[in-house]
């Protein structure tokens, strides 16, 4: 997903403020679901499924600056019953700027975990990284 860095995304030095990367990554996950035909609104309204981030680890490797064009790349790691690993990185051209590893869980309306719906599991399996380790501390180098 391509993004342009705007003035509002930067700090006083003109570098993307660290917390704004979370917003960029969220957009990447949302757009991935949309591209796979699985929209947040429909999942919530039709199946009672809400997505929550249970864990997030981010490595800030290099800065992005005002007016840069960056790309958010999102894939899946392990798909479990009610949760999955999301693997994301932000790049400027081939240069990796940020790498993130998340555990995302499906929650029902009452706040309890619910299983990934079969259609969502099938769709996400299309973007799963082969050979993803069965670990909460994923270390996969993006291609």
Q: Does residue 33 lie within any of the structural domains?
A: yes
The string of pLDDT tens digits covering residues 2-56 is 999 999 999 999 999 999 999 999 999 999 999 998 888 888 888 889 999 999 9
**What total of structural domains would you count in the chain?**
1
Per annotation, catalytic residue among 11, 67, 68, 85? 11
The reported pTM is: 0.85
- Which are the contacts of 65, defined by CB distance < 8 A and separation ≥ 6? 5, 10, 14, 15, 16
Q: Known catalytic residue: 68?
A: no
Q: Does residue 42 lie within any of the structural domains?
A: yes
**3-class DSSP state of 19:** coil
**3-class DSSP state of 63:** coil
**What is the residue range of 107's domain?**
2-125
């Amino acid at each position: 997903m391509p993004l342009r860095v705007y003035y509002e995304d930067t700090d006083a030095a003109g570098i993307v403020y660290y917390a704004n990367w979370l917003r960029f990554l969220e957009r990447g996950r949302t757009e991935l679901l949309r591209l796979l035909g699985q929209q947040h609104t429909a999942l919530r309204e039709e199946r009672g499924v809400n997505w929550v981030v249970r864990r997030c680890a981010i490595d800030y490797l290099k800065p992005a600056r005002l007016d840069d064009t960056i790309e958010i790349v999102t894939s899946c790691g392990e798909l479990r019953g009610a949760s999955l690993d999301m693997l994301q990185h932000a790049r400027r051209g081939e240069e990796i700027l940020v790498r993130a590893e998340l555990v995302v869980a499906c929650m029902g309306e009452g706040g309890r975990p619910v299983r990934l719906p079969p259609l969502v599991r099938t769709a996400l399996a299309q973007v799963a990284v082969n050979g993803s380790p069965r670990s909460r501390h994923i270390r996969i180098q993006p291609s």
